[in-house]
Chain A
């Protein structure tokens, strides 16, 4: 049953500023925020008003499309502000935290003795449902649809990624509780993919099927694992849960609390002391960033990793699904004859006077410069070198750009998420926004086909 994965196409991007494996507690954040944009395609319907006192775990809003999907406060405190943008869309929900957390009690439960419906209900009421995402469309899972399988990636191969073996250590019981609960929600199996040379706390648990993979990025992307193990066909659904979010789900069963504590990597070449921080979903990133210190002024702070994260300011908050904060230098400067002189300090998959191929182990200090202007698709074959899925990347993107729903469906749109195209975007000579193209394509399909 177990099927191991070995991908040959990919690219491991080695960057400077890898986090030390030491765990510190981040200073407690004064404010916490939930950004509805992180919860893709969810339109919030507020249930508490500005100024309300809330406990950690209290529902603050639910999805307009499905009242059952509720979202809870990560901390106890006062909901101070509901920020709205154009057309009164809620852009940010700001909570001023108390000194100490008071948790709403959901009761200690044993998933083994619960029915599937009871588990589902428990996850929905507590707000933990938000951690379960689905493919197709890469959105929060629809609770009415039974998934054919659930996928968990126990390895993160993204640049400067969190070492999950380190971040999850000691969480075995919580992981087991979460996996046992999830196993009841699918007609198929829960697939857990681990590194073939790691020592993961996820390794010896029940109710799951294990797979091993090599460590070439994007082997750690759950999308790659799905494609290699049990690809999504038309009409099918699979769920994915990030390994760290399993801990939150597990804690809910074990302690009855909605405890969104997570281990976050603070990394990147601009960080003075890159290391791991224990913090909480939605906290201000400044707490960790200023605790560690920065090497330079002109930086970009990214919630998430450099390939898929979003740019934020230090006053802003950790994204809902992110467990990394990456800080790299901004690249808003010109470079004299930068397009034709030999390049030694940037990564490239070609050898067009770029010499990173000579130093496969070297760690690079990349900035945010695009290294060129946006162009039409010209080169072919270079995406395929870093794209392990059995999908034609350029053709599916062109289908998205011309909004050809039939072609998108036929070429495998149900299987992909924007993050699967992060590497093709990285190597793209034409500097096309691949992830945006795929996201827009998925959104279009969601709207038209559903």
Chain B
């Protein structure tokens, strides 16, 4: 008897019991279910939510792999074990030394994120008697990519439980949440452990442990440096584009984020409208600040000068604005749900991101706050877009009656 038949028998056995959702989650992971259409149309397109989420995960894999190597590279670079990588395929970057240091740090993050998050999902599915939804497959992948490399695992555990329960399950699970769960987790970390998350020591592994020692590792990012008017830390634009810079685990390589964006857009999973308009919004705000600087309204003594003076397009290369635009803002549940609304939603995310980045030097990464803020306002934007449609319909009637 093959696995297919045995699993089918088990499924019938579990049917209607409390544990059915947990079993089905594993069963449907192995096999596309034998469910047939019962209402409405008799045929269905090939895509289901698992396939969709799978595409998002695939688009994140390059960032994760790069993140693993980069974590090791940043450490080894400071300890002097490797020299500066000069091209994308440099062996100074893609080597076992970097990988082993990075994997040792990053894989536990991935395992904790998935393990804890999925456990919470399974528990809620069993309690509420609904199927285990796929939303967390993506969230669980995003979380390790947006946290600092040296975050303690207990902190991540607490944050993941908080994010999944408060960010998603209390609203009714995947599809019902208002805030992006991955960003809720990030925000929780930021506000619960601010000294950790906003410090300049957590972005390169080992930096915390070596504080004060003569060979101390600096764990600062470009953004932090710019916020203190200290310039680009001698990292070239090309380094920023390729991703050989300190930062959150998976957010550094702009090149691979663009690869991910292309996968999402070409597979029609991610909304190109949101990605495009977010970038436009960010560039607009960047241009405005450039204008402020060139108009001479502020000078180098201003604490905002460092970030305001960044050439507008370079804002896209520092921090996680690009990652946020591609993988976070496009979350369909929490974004605007109308096509027109998506333009407004994206633009405002970009616009506000750069604004927060410049005006909040204590913690210059504004993208996640901007996205959370717009998550809250997305239903309002949709409301007005719908209102336009409703008004058009009402007007049609009025023209008729006159």
User: What is A's interface to B at a CB cutoff of 8 Å?
Assistant: 13, 15, 159, 231, 233-236, 300, 302, 306-309, 311, 326, 328, 330-340, 343, 346-354, 356, 366-382, 384, 390-392, 394-395, 410-412, 418, 421-422, 425-431, 433-436
Q: A352-B51, A379-B332, A431-B44 are in contact. Are A369 and B34 (CB under 8 A)?
A: yes
Query: Which residue on A lies nearest to B399, using beta carbons?
Result: A233
Q: How far is the CA of A148 from the CA of B366 in the complex (A)?
A: 56
Contact assessment for B41 and A306 in the assembled complex, using a CB-CB cutoff below 8 Å: yes
Contact assessment for A339 and B175 in the assembled complex, using a CB-CB cutoff below 8 Å: no
Minimum Cβ distance to chain A for residue B64 (Å):
17
Q: Which of B51-81 contact A (CB under 8 A)?
A: 51-52, 54-55
Contact assessment for A335 and B32 in the assembled complex, using a CB-CB cutoff below 8 Å: yes
Which of these, A300, A348, A352, A356, contacts B42 with CB under 8 Å?
A300
Q: Which of B369-386 contact A (CB under 8 A)?
A: 382, 386
Contact assessment for A378 and B41 in the assembled complex, using a CB-CB cutoff below 8 Å: no
Contact assessment for B33 and A334 in the assembled complex, using a CB-CB cutoff below 8 Å: yes
Chain A residue numbers with a CB within 8 Å of B28 are 339, 373
Chain B residue numbers with a CB within 8 Å of A375 are 48-49, 131, 133-134, 174-175
Chain A residue numbers with a CB within 8 Å of B266 are 351
Contact assessment for A352 and B37 in the assembled complex, using a CB-CB cutoff below 8 Å: no
Contact assessment for A376 and B175 in the assembled complex, using a CB-CB cutoff below 8 Å: yes
Task: Kindly count the residue-residue contacts between A and B in the assembled complex, taking CB atoms under 8 Å apart.
Answer: 230
Q: How far is the CA of A369 from the CA of B45 in the complex (A)?
A: 9
Contact assessment for A426 and B43 in the assembled complex, using a CB-CB cutoff below 8 Å: yes
Minimum Cβ distance to chain A for residue B293 (Å):
38
Q: How far is the CA of A338 from the CA of B337 in the complex (A)?
A: 28
Minimum Cβ distance to chain B for residue A306 (Å):
5
Contact assessment for B41 and A411 in the assembled complex, using a CB-CB cutoff below 8 Å: no
Contact assessment for A352 and B40 in the assembled complex, using a CB-CB cutoff below 8 Å: no
Q: How far is the CA of A392 from the CA of B7 in the complex (A)?
A: 41
Contact assessment for A328 and B42 in the assembled complex, using a CB-CB cutoff below 8 Å: yes
Query: Which residue on B lies nearest to A422, using beta carbons?
Result: B41
Contact assessment for A339 and B40 in the assembled complex, using a CB-CB cutoff below 8 Å: no
Contact assessment for B390 and A411 in the assembled complex, using a CB-CB cutoff below 8 Å: yes
Contact assessment for A429 and B52 in the assembled complex, using a CB-CB cutoff below 8 Å: yes
Minimum Cβ distance to chain B for residue A373 (Å):
6
Chain A residue numbers with a CB within 8 Å of B135 are 378
Chain A residue numbers with a CB within 8 Å of B382 are 395
Chain A residue numbers with a CB within 8 Å of B8 are 334
Contact assessment for A372 and B339 in the assembled complex, using a CB-CB cutoff below 8 Å: no
Q: A376-B133, A380-B337, A395-B386 are in contact. Are A349 and B42 (CB under 8 A)?
A: no
Contact assessment for B34 and A339 in the assembled complex, using a CB-CB cutoff below 8 Å: no
Which of these, A236, A337, A348, contacts B47 with CB under 8 Å?
A348
Contact assessment for A346 and B45 in the assembled complex, using a CB-CB cutoff below 8 Å: yes
Which of these, A235, A330, A356, contacts B46 with CB under 8 Å?
A356
| Stretch of B194-202, B212-220, B267-275 that contacts chain A | B267-275
Contact assessment for A376 and B173 in the assembled complex, using a CB-CB cutoff below 8 Å: yes
Contact assessment for A368 and B175 in the assembled complex, using a CB-CB cutoff below 8 Å: no
Contact assessment for B40 and A350 in the assembled complex, using a CB-CB cutoff below 8 Å: no
Chain A residue numbers with a CB within 8 Å of B396 are 231, 233
